[in-house]
Amino acid sequence: MPFAIMGGTVLVQVCLLPNVDGRTTPRLDIVGALAR
């Protein structure tokens, strides 16, 4: 969702899925790869 502020744009993205397997440790390795 984009927001116009201070003459520019800030984009907020949220990605959430039901935690069906009960995992409580985030997969930060995959998070990093997504930045590519």
* Contact set with other proteins (CB under 8 A): 1-19, 23-28, 31-32, 34-36
Provide, rounded to whole angstroms, the least separation between the CB of residue 18 and other proteins.
Answer: 6
- Which of helix, strand or coil describes residue 35? coil
Q: How far is CA 31 from the centre of its chain?
A: 8
Provide, rounded to whole angstroms, the least separation between the CB of residue 13 and other proteins.
Answer: 5
- Say which residues have a Cβ less than 8 Å from residue 11's Cβ, sequence separation at least 6: 1, 2, 3
Provide, rounded to whole angstroms, the least separation between the CB of residue 15 and other proteins.
Answer: 4
